[in-house]
């Protein structure tokens, strides 16, 4: 127990140090910024771009990992593969792990969102802001509500991903430059955590696990191709990188879909390693599962670690620092107690970390294949046989990436139409992205 306690203390200290470092990484003196909308990226970032073979105005994508409180900016290199060019510790995010469901639940969105120039707000009261685009087509099809969910400065959040003003100055500049280069839409991928086999096992008891399995398919597609996946929505689900016999309707029946052969093979190989890693995680943690801390518990860790220090910024901390692995029985009892207390106070349990029901636990301890939707059989997914099922059985969403007419030589997966023309373009014949991907391998 003492070793485990020391490990947790060390993790908290490292996380705190990471947050403090992140607050300092974007070290521009804001008093010297004359035009925040046109403020250039720092010279050290431009130097990193040149070293990695990236053009200043090449496409970007954004990835968020709630649990560790991390935001990554990825940029296309000369091979049209996206790699991390900058990363930040999120200063404040509210709620717990899990998607935003309704207005007022204080949850920050999870899913796949497309950001157009219209999403940029240079006049935000929070210094600068980028609207996440919530609710997207998936959210709307599933009756989820909320508005004005942003990435913004000021380090204060109620459903947003809030950064320091210095950080959002850089993030805004990345998006601005990419749009100037011709990118039509930037993909924002917001995940609860990195979708590794170990993390999927740790969180298997969460009532959000089916939603996360769906997101994992998009996550896997990026890990295989290193390009933003093409995202569609049908039957109120996300689907990724699918060749379809007809148009997609968010709430309607999915068209007949197949996975491009080269991508299917790559995903199958990727999944074999995932299954091996999942088996290791099952054995390693056996009857253990992760306790996802409340926002108050995250803040308490930060307050304790920073006691006596300047709290000009009061980050909400990370779930990694405040959460812990627990015996399933103990976790069930804790979550039941939390739920009872919340109900007694007149509240509702919007997004608990763990569903303490016996049925939930039985489902969660199924085989590794069931834990990874990509490995399900056609019979399980209700789809036609076509090798590994990649997307048809998993929720889908968001605007549709299209080739950029301003710069057709760049990755067509990095672009999407603006919301105003999305419907018309959805019905038009799209570029064969799978041929582009296979040809460039």
pLDDT tens, position by position, 256-274: 999 999 999 999 999 999 9
pLDDT tens, position by position, 91-113: 999 999 999 999 999 999 999 99
Q: Is the dihedral of CA 384, 390, 395, 396 positive or negative?
A: negative
Domain extents in the chain: 36-341
> What is the strand order of the sheet 92-93 is part of?
92-93, 161-162, 150-152, 129-131, 120-121
Residue 186 near residue 270, CB atoms below 8 Å? no
pLDDT tens, position by position, 69-97: 999 999 999 999 999 999 999 999 999 99
Q: What band does 343 get if pLDDT is binned at 50, 70 and 90?
A: confident
Q: Which of 19, 91, 160, 234 is catalytic?
A: 160
Q: Mean pLDDT across the chain, nearest whole number?
A: 78
Q: What band does 335 get if pLDDT is binned at 50, 70 and 90?
A: confident
List the structure tokens of 14: 């490292």
Non-local (6+) Cβ contacts of 72 within 8 A are: 62, 63, 64, 65, 84, 86, 87, 88
Active site residue 203: no
Active site residue 160: yes
The mean pLDDT value for 318-324 works out to 93
Q: What share of the chain is helix, strand, coil (3-state, %, to 5)?
A: 40, 15, 45
SS3 360: helix
Residue 263 near residue 244, CB atoms below 8 Å? no
List the structure tokens of 296: 């108050």
Query: Which region, left, alpha or beta, applies to residue 106 given φ > 0 means left and ψ of -120 to 50 means alpha?
Result: left
How many helices (H) and strands (E) in the chain?
A: 15, 16
- The answer, yes or no, to whether residue 409 has pLDDT greater than 60, is no
Q: Which of 19, 91, 152, 203 is catalytic?
A: 152
pLDDT of residue 158: 78
Non-local (6+) Cβ contacts of 14 within 8 A are: none
Per-position DSSP letters for 66-99, written without gaps between them = TTTTEEEEEEE-TTS-EEEEEEEE-SEE-S-SS-
pLDDT tens, position by position, 202-215: 999 999 999 999 99
- The answer, yes or no, to whether residue 165 has pLDDT greater than 80, is yes
Unique residue bearing structure tokens 């103990």? 330
Non-local (6+) Cβ contacts of 131 within 8 A are: 115, 119, 120, 121, 148, 149, 150
Phi, psi of 326 (to 5 degrees): -140, 160
Buried b / exposed e along 239-263 (16+ C-beta atoms within 10 A): bbbbbbeeebbbeeebbebbbbeeb
Q: Distance of CA 352 to CAs 105, 138, 158, 203, 230, Å? A: 12, 22, 18, 12, 31
Element (H, E) at 289: strand 288-291
pLDDT tens, position by position, 417-438: 333 333 333 333 444 443 444 4
What's the gap between Cα 25 and its chain centre?
A: 22
Topology of domain 36-341, CATH:
L,D-transpeptidase catalytic domain-like (2.40.440)
């Amino acid at each position: 127990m003492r070793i485990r306690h020391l490990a947790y203390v060390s993790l908290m200290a490292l996380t705190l140090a990471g947050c403090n470092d992140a607050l300092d990484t974007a070290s521009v003196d804001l008093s010297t910024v004359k035009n925040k909308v046109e403020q250039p990226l720092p010279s050290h970032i431009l130097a990193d771009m040149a070293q990695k073979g990236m053009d200043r105005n090449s496409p970007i994508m954004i990835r968020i990992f709630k649990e560790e409180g991390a935001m990554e900016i990825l940029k296309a290199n000369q091979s049209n593969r996206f790699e991390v060019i900058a990363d930040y510790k999120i200063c404040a995010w509210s709620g717990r792990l899990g998607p935003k469901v309704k207005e007022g639940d204080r949850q920050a969105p999870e899913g796949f969102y497309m950001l157009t120039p219209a999403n940029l707000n240079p006049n935000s009261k929070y210094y600068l802001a980028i609207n996440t685009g919530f609710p997207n087509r998936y959210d709307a099809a599933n009756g989820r509500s909320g508005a004005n969910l942003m990435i913004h400065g000021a380090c204060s959040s109620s459903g947003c991903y809030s950064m320091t003003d210095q950080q959002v100055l850089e993030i805004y500049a990345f998006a601005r430059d990419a749009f100037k280069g011709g990118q039509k839409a930037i993909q924002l991928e917001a995940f609860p955590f990195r979708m590794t086999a170990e993390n999927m096992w740790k969180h298997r008891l969460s009532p959000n696990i089916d939603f996360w399995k769906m997101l994992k398919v998009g996550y896997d597609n990026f890990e295989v191709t290193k390009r933003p996946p093409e995202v569609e929505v049908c039957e109120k689900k996300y689907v990724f990188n699918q060749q379809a016999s007809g148009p997609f309707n968010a709430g309607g029946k999915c068209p007949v879909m197949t996975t491009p052969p080269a991508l299917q093979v790559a995903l199958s190989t990727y999944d074999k390693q995932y299954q091996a890693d999942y088996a290791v995680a099952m054995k390693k943690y056996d009857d253990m599962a992760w306790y996802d801390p409340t926002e108050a518990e995250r803040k308490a860790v930060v307050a304790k670690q920073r006691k006596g220090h300047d709290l000009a910024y009061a980050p909400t901390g990370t779930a990694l620092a405040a959460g812990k692995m627990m015996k399933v029985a103990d976790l069930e009892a804790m979550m039941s107690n939390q739920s009872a207390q919340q109900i007694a106070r007149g509240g509702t349990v919007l997004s608990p970390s763990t569903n303490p029901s016996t049925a939930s636990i039985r489902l969660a301890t199924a085989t590794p294949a069931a834990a990874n939707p990509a490995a399900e059989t056609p019979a399980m997914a209700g789809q036609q046989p076509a090798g590994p099922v990649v997307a048809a059985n998993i929720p889908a969403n968001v605007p549709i990436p299209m080739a950029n007419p301003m710069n057709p030589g760049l990755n067509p997966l990095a672009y999407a139409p603006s919301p105003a023309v999305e419907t018309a373009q959805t019905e038009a014949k799209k570029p064969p992205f799978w041929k582009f991907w296979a040809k460039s391998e």
